[in-house]
Amino acid sequence: MTPKTPNNSADLFRAQLSQMLSMSRPLVCLPQKVNWEKLEAEVDLIYSDAAGQSSLPTRLLVGLRYLKYAFNESVVKRWVENPYWQYFCGYEYLQHKLPLRPTSLTRWRELDHVNVNTTMQEKAITFPTDAKLYQRMREHLVCAAQAHEIRLRQSYVKIGKKALIMQGRCSHARQSKRVAKQTRKLKTYLGRVIRDTARKATKQDEALTELLNRAKRFRI
């Protein structure tokens, strides 16, 4: 069913939160700048009028999600202890019980489009070291040579992979001289493939020429 509104019926024996809180605090001033009526009207259209029990207040759910992303805390438990949070979510009197179960907040999904900031999220991207770039460039050249039916003297597939693995191990062990040695090997393998491909390329292919020029510039 459509969401119910918070129980803010007048109580002569209880003081309102507006009389207890500092009205200059951000969480007290912010609700006045939000058009809650328009927000609730748009969200409430998703709910059914006939099926199920009454849903939780839209302002409560929206407020809790805002507080969760703003303070990154367990907002449901902290909400009972923080009168400013209760006022922000539309309550006029201090509440002493949990407004909902924490799982209810995670199940509440009413958005068609979500913008997610993945700046700090871990990604499957490795650091572009010279050794890795030499290896990748050589692999691209070998594939391009095979596509143009160029028979290379040596592709350095196995020994190139072995040199890259050794370079990573030596780098992890902080053996700088061995790291430089393996990196020079990969650079040498790339240079040999560049020269061999350029020498045996009989047809002037624009894509292959551009790849060779890029490899030469990168190897310098």
| pLDDT value at 142 more than 70 | yes
Give per-residue pLDDT as tens, 53-109. 667 888 888 888 888 888 877 788 888 888 898 898 888 888 888 888 777 776 665
pLDDT at 115 over 70: no
pLDDT-derived band at 219 (thresholds 50, 70, 90) equals confident
The tens digit of pLDDT for each residue in 182-201 reads: 999 999 999 999 999 999 88
**Looking at residue 112, what is its pLDDT?**
55
3-state per-residue secondary structure call for the chain: CCECCCCCCCCCCCCCHHHHCCCCCHHHHHHHHCCHHHHHHHHHCCCCCCCCCCECCHHHHHHHHHHHHHHCCCHHHHHHHCHHHHHHCCCCCCCCCCCCCHHHHHHCCCCCCCCCCCCCCCCCCCCCCHHHHHHHHHHHHHHHHHHCCCCCCCCCHHHHHHHHHHHHHHHHCCCHHHHHHHHHHHHHHHHHHHHHHHHHCCCCCHHHHHHHHHHHHHHC
> Whole-prediction pTM value?
0.44
